Copies of this chain bind each other. A is one copy, B any other.
Amino acid sequence: MQKADLLILGGTVLTLDEQDSIIDPGDIAIKGDTILEIGPNLADKYLSSEILEARGQLIMPGLVNAHIHAAMTLFRGLADDLSLMDWLRNHIFPAESRYMNAENVYLGTLLACIEMIKSGTTTLCDGYFFESDAARAVRDAGLRGVMAQGIVDFPCPDVPDPTDNLRQAEEFICQWKESDRVKPGLFCHSAYTCCPKTLQETKKMAQKHGIPFGIHIAETQTEVREIMRQYGKRPVQHLADLGILDETVMAVHCVWLDPEEIDLLQKFQVKVVHSPESNMKLASGIAPIPDLLQKGITVGLGTDGCASNNDLDLFQEMDTAAKLQKVARFDPTVLNARQVVHMATTGGASVLGLASEIGSLEPGKKADVITLDLKKPHLMPIYNLYSHLVYTFNGADVNSVVVNGNVLMRNRKLLHLEEEKIMERVSELAGVIQKGQV
């Protein structure tokens, strides 16, 4: 008998490896933070102090939320059904400047982590202010994250003087660079809130430290018009000419692209993040995802912040992603269920530069695993697992969650976080925020 630290026993294992292997029934043996072996009857081969029973359950890689502003859970539903500029300028920006501080970013990010664990997300890519506090929350919650400090050319709650942005960002990077699960990144808000110099210097710093560089790009028609007016070219061309684009760039939204811009994304191997629910709710538009995939461009899936979604459930995001492309193209065969499942797992892992570590269940990869109940009325009957994951499951069907070999949730019970206490603190703060709004 060999020694393992955790055995997950007796489910149907959807590996999402290159062959899309399904092992049924299958067990997973985990040592430390790593998957040792996947196969049948591993209980006969491994001795383990900890067992996760998954009989009758689906076992799959944890989902990757490739774009989120986690602390914005605090503003969930604060301002809906408004025009983008009204929403941003009269509600979100004022609320952020009044209520976002180190403590509240920690709290809001912790709430987001709880929601993500309970809906099967094991890795997130965050972009916000006070990113060190957001990173602390993700670390404390046990999730895996790329935590990208936000950069804009105007004063922010955490960096009142924008000329101090990069100095502070580098401090943040050095602080988190050597950590294990939680890695730093940089996130320029956009080409209309960051001047060319800011974009280039931020990119240079990301390169210096070998960390991902994220940016909202081509989200709205207004943005494209503004960049055209200022620089005489479209957003992706603008970034290309500034020397920003390469395979470590996470281009978020990419709704309004012309064919030349798609070619640029392909040429520079830029990674794209699709956030369909946010794009719908803010009426931004419909990203040409099938065209990107056809060019071999890597696409991940993100929920975006809670204020424009208003949840962090990637199962619902997968459902919407698949359906939205079908109706937009008048073609029900476009963006099939298997493609969408890969966007939310292997795709997201590639976007974050973590393809060799997570995204699929394979020996040697990190043990980020979720299990899903299969025996519920709304999941019956089951003909095709991919189809079910996209069109039928939702986050509440997640049973147990393992990140880096640690069980974070078992039978829907969080093992390390004080759910009740955190909800109470959020409620108190929301009372203050709501009063401030009146």
**Residues on A close to B: CB < 8 A?**
73-74, 76-78, 80-84, 87, 111, 114-115, 118-119, 221, 277, 279-286, 309-313, 316, 319-320, 322-324, 326-327, 329-334, 336-337, 375, 377-378, 380-384, 387-388, 391-392, 394-397, 419, 422-423, 426-427, 429-430, 433-434, 437
Contact A377 B111 (CB under 8 A): yes
Instruction: Please name all residues of chain B whose beta carbon is closer than 8 Å to the beta carbon of A78 when the two chains form the complex.
Output: 383-384
Contact, CB under 8 Å: A384 / B282? no
Check A378 against B429 for contact (C-beta < 8 Å): no
Q: In the bound complex, do residue A378 and residue B332 qualify as a contact, i.e. CB atoms below 8 Å apart?
A: no
The oligomer's copy count stands at: 2
Complex Cα–Cα for A331 and B82 (A): 8
Closest Cβ of chain B to A386, distance in Å, is 9
Q: Do B381 and A327 have beta carbons less than 8 Å apart?
A: no
Q: How far is the CB of A328 from chain B (nearest CB, A)?
A: 9
Report whether A395 and B383 are in contact in the complex, using a CB–CB cutoff of 8 Å: no
Q: Is the CB of B378 within 8 A of A311?
A: yes
Are A285 and B383 in contact (CB-based, < 8 A)? no
Instruction: Tell me if A327 and B286 are in contact (CB < 8 A).
Output: yes
In the complex, which residues of chain B have a beta carbon less than 8 angstroms from the beta carbon of A394? 313, 316, 394, 396
Q: Which residues of chain B have C-beta atoms less than 8 A from A114's C-beta?
A: 377
Q: Which residues of B contact A422 (CB under 8 A)?
A: 377
Across the interface, name the chain B residue whose C-beta is closest to A77: B387
Establish whether residues A80 and B387, one from each chain, have CB atoms under 8 Å apart when the complex forms: yes
CA–CA, A176 to B74, complex, Å?
Answer: 51
A388 contacts B77, CB within 8 Å?
yes
Cα-based distance from A285 to B115 in the complex (angstroms): 33
Interchain CA distance A222-B384 in the complex, whole Å: 29
Contact A333 B83 (CB under 8 A): yes
- Chain B neighbourhood of A429, CB < 8 A: 381
What are 5 pairs between A and B in contact, CB < 8 Å?
A81-B337, A118-B378, A309-B391, A377-B423, A378-B395
Q: Are the C-beta atoms of A381 and B419 separated by less than 8 Å?
A: no
Query: Smallest Cβ distance from A336 to chain B, in angstroms?
Result: 4
Q: Which of B281, B378, B383, B426 contacts A380, CB < 8 Å?
A: B426
B residues near A375, Cβ cutoff 8 Å: 423
A327 partner, pick from B77, B283, B430, B434, beta carbons under 8 A: B283
What's the Cα separation between A131 and B388 when bound, in Å? 27
Contact A382 B316 (CB under 8 A): no
**Could you tell me the distance between the alpha carbons of A216 and B341 in the complex, rounded to whole angstroms?**
32
Chain B CB count within 10 A is highest, among A279, A380, A394, A419, for A380
B-chain residues with CB within 8 Å of residue A331 when the two chains form the complex: 83, 283
Q: Which residue on B lies nearest to A114, using beta carbons?
A: B377
